[in-house]
Amino acid sequence: MRTIGNASILSVSLVALLIAGAGIALVQRARRATPPQRNGSILRLDRNGDLQDAIDQAKPGDTIVLEAGAAYTGNFTLPVKSGSDFITIQSSRASELPEGARVSPSQSALFAKVQSATNAEPVLKTKPGAHHYKFVGIEFSTTDANVKVFDLIRLGDWKSQTSIESVPHHLIIDRSYIHGFNTQEVQRGIALNSAETSIINSYISEIHGKGYDTQAICGWNGPGPFKIINNYLEGAGENVMFGGAPAAIPNLVPTDIEIRNNYFYKPLSWYTKDPSYGGIHWTVKNLFELKNARKVIVDGNIFENNWTDAQAGRAIVFTPRPSDSGSAALIEDVIFQNNIIKNVGSGILILGIDDPPQPQDVRLKRVQVLNNLWLIDGPSNGSNGAFATVIKGTEAVTIEHNTAFQTGTIVLADYDPNQRFIYRNNISRHNEYGIFGSGTGIGKPALAKYFPGSVITGNVIVKEVNAPDNAESLYPAGNFFPESMQAVGFVDFARGNYRLRPNSRFRAAGRVDPGANLDKLPKLSSDKQ
């Protein structure tokens, strides 16, 4: 290799060898005074290069290589290109970031830094209909920690994007670091109003604001499908949300959403009552919320830390809201499975019908909550400690094979009756109120009013913490009421091994045991990575 100024080039013979052996051509690294020169499909941009110019010049199939550690400053826009090959924009050290592995800030030296100028505009945004762009090993942030930003990355638009044809699509952000700063107000890490988009193996942090909702990822005007896989997701309002604002595309419901193997996390330094509180009161709501979504699978994630602040401390919220998400808003065909929900004030809220004057037809149907571990501490997090709040006319909600250590009710019901409800093969404490209906009391009266025709069977309901002595008689036959958690027969209750011992009397001979199958859950540790 020989060097000319700030650019390095390979010898002609070596270039020829690479072309013959790998089909890849390398070109001279560009300088500010000289635009990138294309000699095949790789554009190498040195730290003085013009990234927007390189993006504008790139053709489908090209790779723009940015210098690791260098900062490229501006507000960058992805234009529309013809063709269906991806334009890849990556760090020069991207190969040192293993494929399929989540990145972290500790790998900062491997990232190329793409930063916004000193304004509130996104670091990166798309033109209407832009497509086939991929980012690998990029750190997205602002140059000024004091500027308030609405979206660090804006994929699609929520005002002018009024047709499916105008939606950006086939976009990938892989192994990248997207962040605000610890005192900075940032409303969203990624505004996800696109189609065929994947956010994978990345790290989104320090997304927070005062007096308004903030999200690591939020989408409301893109049709999907979306893949949010193996990321660290940190946001004060809702870490991830779909809906929350009206779609400009008529009758749009974000559809085909896959959320797997992520770590949803709120630092306790944001909690005013925690000893580690950092002194800035960010507005906190929940860890995951759906207001308008169809065909969603949430599988193998960890959700950690949520407390009462601007909402009531519920970790997971499924509430169709035409009131703020548009007249088409609904929630249908959702599977929430194999997750761990840890240190939260309350578990899950599931609502069927929005408040008047919104339409009073049922907007939530076919939601399954399967095989999850819930560690709920109401008193520590300022909430009611309930496992599940199921209210106002839901249809076909199934809660099955969950293990819940909650400090409040098992199921809390109110308003309209819920149809085709199943609560089966779960393990929980009864506590004082168990399954409770507003105005009706505990057990059978609540079930008759709020869950007519429901299936309530196979559950292990532990008579701890002020449970009524006659709890067995308050529920349908086929449920079990041991006197204590020790009597359930966990392998090691004190150390958090909630598998049933072989000699537990609640082992289901020849069938699936009650509670969660811990072998299907993600590894629970104190390491956020």
Residues 163 and 311 in one domain: no
> What phi-psi label fits residue 12: left (phi over 0), alpha (psi between -120 and 50 degrees) or beta?
alpha
Residue 283 lies in a domain: no
The whole-angstrom separation of Cα 523 and Cα 529 is 11
Segment holding 159, helix H or strand E: none
Domain's final residue, options 265, 286, 318: 265
Side-chain half-sphere exposure of 18, counting CA atoms within 13 A: 15
CA 207 – CA 190 distance, rounded (Å)? 10
**Which element (helix H / strand E) includes 259?**
strand 255-260
Question: Does residue 498 lie within any of the structural domains?
Answer: yes
Task: Specify whether 261 is located in the same domain as 299.
Answer: no
Hey, what's the torsion of the CAs at 422, 425, 431, 434, to 10 degrees?
A: 20
221 shares a domain with 311: no
CA atoms within 13 A on the CB side of 27: 20
In this structure, the chain runs to a length of 529
Amino acid at 393: G
Q: pLDDT digit of tens for each residue in the chain (529 aa)?
A: 222 223 333 333 333 333 333 333 333 333 233 444 444 499 999 999 999 999 999 999 999 999 999 999 999 999 999 999 999 999 999 999 999 999 999 999 999 999 998 788 999 999 999 999 999 999 999 999 999 999 999 999 988 999 999 999 999 999 999 999 999 999 999 999 999 999 999 999 999 999 999 999 999 999 999 999 999 999 999 999 999 999 999 999 999 999 999 999 999 999 999 999 999 999 999 999 999 999 999 999 999 999 999 999 999 999 999 999 999 999 999 999 999 999 999 999 999 999 999 999 999 999 999 999 999 999 999 999 999 999 999 999 999 999 999 999 999 999 999 999 999 999 999 999 999 999 999 999 999 999 999 999 999 999 999 999 999 999 999 999 999 999 999 999 999 999 999 999 999 867 889 999 999 999 875 445 5
Q: Does a structural domain hold residue 48? A: no
Locate 150 and state its tokens. 């609405």
Boundary-marking domain end, from 222, 247, 265: 265
Instruction: Name residue 314's beta-bridge partners.
Output: 346
pLDDT at position 508, please?
A: 84
Same structural domain for residues 421 and 500?
yes
Of the candidates 141, 310, 61, 295, the one whose C-alpha atom is nearest the C-alpha of residue 210 is: 310
Q: Which of 305, 298, 308 is nearest to 375 (CA)?
A: 305
Residue 528: predicted pLDDT: 54
Calpha distance 415→393 (Å, rounded): 8
Residue 51 belongs to some domain of the structure: no
For 183, 230, 356, 490, the CA distances from 96, given in Å and listed in that order, are: 31, 18, 55, 43
Tell me which H or E stretch contains 54: helix 51-57
Indicate the number of domains in the chain. 2
In a domain, 247, yes or no: yes
Asked whether residue 216 falls in the same domain as residue 321, the answer is no
Residues 390 and 458 in one domain: yes
pTM for this entry: 0.92
| Cα–Cα distance measured from residue 484 to residue 501, given in angstroms and rounded to the nearest whole number | 15
Which structural domain range is residue 141 located in?
A: 67-265
Of residues 359, 156, 367, the one with CA closest to residue 247: 156
**Count of other CB atoms within 10 angstroms of residue 86:** 17
Among 243, 265, 287, which residue terminates a domain?
A: 265
In angstroms, rounded to a whole number, what is the distance separating the alpha carbons of residues 252 and 45? 40
SS3 368: strand
Locate the DSSP E strands across 177-214: 177-179, 186-192, 195-200, 203-207
Residue 45's CB: how many other CB atoms inside 10 A?
25
Tell whether 165 and 230 lie within a shared domain: yes
DSSP state, 74?
S
Q: Is 210 inside any structural domain?
A: yes
